[in-house]
Amino acid sequence: MGKPSDLVQGTLDLLILKTLLLEPLHGWAIAKRIQQLSGEVLQVQQGSLYPALHRLEQQGWIKAKWAESETGRQAKFYALTAAGRSQLEKETANWNRLSAAINLVVGEA
Amino acid sequence: MRLVEQLRMAFLSLFRRGQASARLDDEIRYHVERQIDENIAAGMSPEAARAAALRQFGNPALLRDQARSTWTGAWFDSLNRDCRYITRALIHAPGFTMIAVFIIALGIGANVALFTLVHRVLLDPLPYPEPEQLVSIYEHESGGNTHAYMPIDAGSFSEWQRASQGVADMAMVSPFQGYSVSAEGGKLPEKIEAAMCSWNFFSLLGVNPVLGRTFGPADDTPSADASVILSGPFWQRRYAGDPSVVGKRIWLDAKPYTVIGVLPASFVYSGAFGGNTVQVWTPIAHEFPPSLMTTFEDHEAIGIARLRPGTSLAALVSHLQAVQKQIKAGHPGPAVHDSVIGRSLLDDAVQDYKTPLYALLAATGCVLLIASMNVASLLVARIASRRKELAIRVALGGGWLRIMRERMLESLLLSAAGGALGLALAWTAIQWLVKTRHDMNRVEAIHIGAVEIAFVILAVILTALFAGLISAFSSKLKDVLGGLQDSSRTLSSSRARAGLRRTLLVLEVSLTVVLLVGAGLLLKSYQRLRSTDLGVPVDNVLTLHFGLPEARYKTPVQRVAFFENVLSQVRTLAGVQSAGLVSAAPGQGYGGDDLVTVVEHPPLPKGTGLDLQIRGADPGYFAAIHLPLIRGRIFTSDERLDRANVVVISQKAAEMCFPGEDPIGKHIKINVDGTVGEVIGVVGDTRWNITQPIMGQMYWPLFSERWVNVALIVRSPANVSAFAMPIQKIIGGLDPDLPVSGVGTLRESIAKATIDSHFDSLLILAFAVIALVLAAAGLYGVLTYLVTQRTSEIGIRIALGARREQLLRTILFDGIRPALLGLLGGLAGSAAAVRLIRSMLYQTEPLDPLVFASVAALLLAVATLACILPAWRASRLDPIQALRTE
């Protein structure tokens, strides 16, 4: 396994929203989940994760709640809002269109 | 839903910023702790686990900043930081901060106070419904050099009212009347100001009474029962706001009047001929004798009209003009005016204040401009002293815009503090003004409201922009970077900066000179006014007024007896030198005039007449007031009642009526009633108002049937005011129901007449002094700064043998040059500006050479004084010290 790739520009929001679709998670868990789901390929840097989370929260896509975490400490859990859900659909569709287009160009070569 | 969520987040990040920051820290800490746990689980020692976690995490401070920058109002953070930084810097320079804030406060405070006056007095509409339809109508003598707006006669008014139907509604008011209110229910008798008006006056203005009703047509006839309407303040003061006063009787001039209504306390009628202190209102046709209601020759009222929609003032005036032409054609007497003139009711109230208030506003505008220039100059100097710091910041990547924004913020903070302090100053000044200037029309309307607050904000922003932009642009980017390689010998940029400050100084000095010239002219005019000779010595004279109600003093014999009683008792008071009675004392009012003819002369051409002021005097009056007898003799005590057919005239009257001949023994006839009197003496002239030209006067014996209202004048070697109480007791002893009014010395009544001039000249002088101090401080500051910058250069010069006197002269001249340039500009500017205040000057030419010369001398002296200290200090520099500081 090579060095974890940097995230494709602009996809972090999509990944965060997607990760939160199942259940509310805190920042550390979100980073871990993305890492696991991508088969250790995608490594989310803390330096981008938290600004992204705060931006999404300011925009109203996600909302945060402090709750006890699995280790028994207080952690900030982010959950998808209704608006975030429809945003996720939009971004997913967008991503599919984009990646299909890229595949068309790259895949046939 | 999303919107609500966004607003909630925006609110939290804006107003709960501290809490949000703490939460962010918690979040980061949790993340790091989880990473440490994971590292330990992977087999690291706790220390190594922590170190690895932190390393992996990166710079938490940077992350925190990045997260925060996504929050709503991220700009707010940096602004807040800048504000804190600037505030700290300003607090560290308390001298600079206090001076700057104080200067701005003076400038803004003076402007806000004057703006409030101009706005509330000159611009605010009058508090009546549709005030723009209301106009005042006066008569005018075409070709005459008398006052342009003259009161009207009731005869003409009736004709106008008939002719203007359908075009305008017209009412008539005579606002300069008075009554004695009788003692009743334990209250003292008093003399009150009153107005007589046509019944439709209040309905025309649109004023409703708070109690009872206003006049109806039936009240406004000679045969109606006497009725009176009380003003709000009079009702509160004398009747303690008792609502049952409506329908009751009060006694005015010893006659019963029924109170039919009370006006709202807010109602004020202000006209050019007074009215704002009127206490009671009575119907004019009931009060005026019938002859006065039909005459065209006696002008006792003012016309008020409400224009119907679609009618203009000019249209109404030209309409009435045609009517008046016909009246004049039918009654060609000299006392009948031939033309009509009108102006809006607002202009009528405030015309006299327009020039002074606008002149004062212009003066305060100059002060604010000077103040902002001074603050700008201070800010420029401050930047100059922080050049190295700025250069380092720019070199380290500090944004230039950010530094500019800091300059603007600094100036905004100073201006805002100055504005707040200025508002407080303005409020105090206005409270003081409202208390001291009851005489001013519309003074009741003056207050600081929303518009004034908006004006303060505007003034703060403008001042901040002006001072901030000048200081921000004073240091260019490349100059600032130059500061890094700067040694104290490279002076180009600091020179340029001083050049900017010098230009500001030239402007400052110019404005100061204009203010000084204005103040000088007004002061000189005021001095002239104060030193104007009233015609009699004014010191140690007490005057007081009373009037005998004809309802109780029915015959002339009764009245004369009362006058003589008062005189003989007052004259026996210990310490009274002399006492006399006169119908109107010098300097205390117009007192009435009449057209006369000289019996011995051929009749004058039609339409011309000799206009003399008429006075009644007792034989002792002339000696008591020290009015010199020039020819002939004074009345004897015997020439009274039906033997009162003698008259004493003033010198001016003698010149008017008897040019080149001896008036003694000739006869004068009063046109209106045909009274004839033999001229027996000529006395000196007196002025009826210190600010007005002398008029010819004639004195008839007071002991005759004509006179009921008199002024008692008392002269005493010292402390004449002490006689006020004993004299009031004497009059009260003779008639307990007779009010005495207007108690005061002759000097006080002169002070009253000159209060406008006094006030305006003092205020402008104050502004000019402020400007002068600011300009001097500016000169001092710039020169001190220049000398500091050139310390080493001066040191070298001295070391090389420059003579100290030579140095002193050079530096001194360097400092004074902007003052000289400013002086020239200011004198030229004043020559143009003083024309605007010509109408405020009394016997003073706008281009008075003495005033201009004194201002120039004063300014040069102050400028030299401001420059001499830094110049002297520079010339005394120790060269060794100066070179070592490098």
Q: What is the pLDDT of residues B495-545, one digit of tens each?
A: 556 677 788 889 889 989 999 999 999 889 888 888 888 889 888 999 999
Q: Could you tell me how many CB contacts below 8 A there are between chain A and chain B?
A: 77
A45 reaches B (C-beta below 8 A): yes
- Minimal-distance CA residue of chain B relative to A44: B57
Q: What pLDDT score does B489 carry?
A: 46
Write the DSSP assignment of A1-57 as a string of letters: --PPBPPPTT-HHHHHHHHHTTS-EEHHHHHHHHHHHTTT-B---HHHHHHHHHHHH
Please tell me the distance in Å from A96's CA to the nearest CA on chain B.
25
Indicate yes or no: CB of B70 within 8 angstroms of CB of A69.
no
> What are the structural domains, with CATH classification, of chain A?
12-107 (1.10.10.10)
Q: What pLDDT score does B172 carry?
A: 95
Residue among B27, B62, B71 whose CB faces A76 most closely = B27
Residue linked to tokens 């952690």: A75
Q: Which one, of B620, B537, B617, lies nearest residue B584 by Cα?
A: B617
Distance CA B586, CA B814 (A): 57
- Minimal-distance CA residue of chain B relative to A51: B67
Angle at CA of residue B338, ends B335 and B344, nearest 5°: 110
Query: For residue B811, what are the contacts with CB-CB under 8 A and spacing of at least 6?
Result: B783, B786, B787, B867, B870, B871, B874, B875
Residues of chain B with pLDDT > 70: what percent? 95
pLDDT in tens, B605-634: 766 778 899 999 999 999 999 999 999 999
Indicate yes or no: CB of B27 within 8 angstroms of CB of A50.
yes
A50 reaches B (C-beta below 8 A): yes
- Long-range contacts of range B238-241, CB-CB < 8 Å, 24 or more positions apart? B238/B181, B238/B187, B238/B190
pLDDT in tens, B586-603: 988 888 888 899 999 888
Average pLDDT, chain B: 87
Bridge partners, residue B578, by sequence: B715
pLDDT at B71 exceeding the cut of 80: no
Single-letter amino acid, residue B337: H
How many residues does the structure list for chain B?
886
Banded pLDDT at A3 (limits 50, 70, 90): very low
Please tell me the distance in Å from B27's CA to the nearest CA on chain A.
6
Mean pLDDT of A45-73: 84
B6 reaches A (C-beta below 8 A): yes
A63 reaches B (C-beta below 8 A): yes
Please tell me the distance in Å from B51's CA to the nearest CA on chain A.
16
Indicate yes or no: CB of A51 within 8 angstroms of CB of B35.
no
Helix (H, G, I), strand (E, B) or coil at A66: strand
pLDDT at B885 exceeding the cut of 70: no
pTM exceeds 0.80, yes or no: no
Bridge partners, residue B597, by sequence: B669
Distance CA A50, CA A30 (A): 10
Indicate yes or no: CB of B23 within 8 angstroms of CB of A76.
yes
The H-or-E segment that residue B63 falls in is helix B60-69
Indicate yes or no: CB of A50 within 8 angstroms of CB of B67.
yes
Give burial (CB, 10 Å; 0-12/13-18/19+) of B281.
buried
> Which of B14, B25, B59, B63 to probe the A interface (max A CBs under 10 A)?
B63
Question: Which chain A residues are closer than 8 Å to B29 by Cβ?
Answer: none
Task: Say yes or no: ipTM exceeds 0.90.
Answer: no
pLDDT at B3 exceeding the cut of 80: no
Single-letter amino acid, residue A87: Q
Residue among A47, A66, A83 whose CB faces B58 most closely = A47
Residue among B1, B13, B23 whose CB faces A83 most closely = B1
User: Is residue B436 within 8 Å of residue B756, measured between CB atoms?
Assistant: no
Query: For residue B172, what are the contacts with CB-CB under 8 A and spacing of at least 6?
Result: B152, B154, B157, B197, B198, B201, B284, B301, B302, B303, B304
Question: Which chain B residues are closer than 8 Å to A53 by Cβ?
Answer: 67
CA B732 to chain centre: 39
Distance CA B410, CA B97 (A): 10
Distance CA B175, CA B292 (A): 16
Q: What pLDDT score does A1 carry?
A: 35
CA B590 to chain centre: 25
> What are the helix (H) ranges across B304-344?
313-330
Question: In chain B, positions 7-66, which contact chain A (CB-CB < 8 Å)?
Answer: 9-10, 13, 23-24, 26-28, 30-31, 33-35, 37, 56-59, 62-63, 66
- Minimal-distance CA residue of chain B relative to A81: B2
Indicate yes or no: CB of A57 within 8 angstroms of CB of B9.
yes
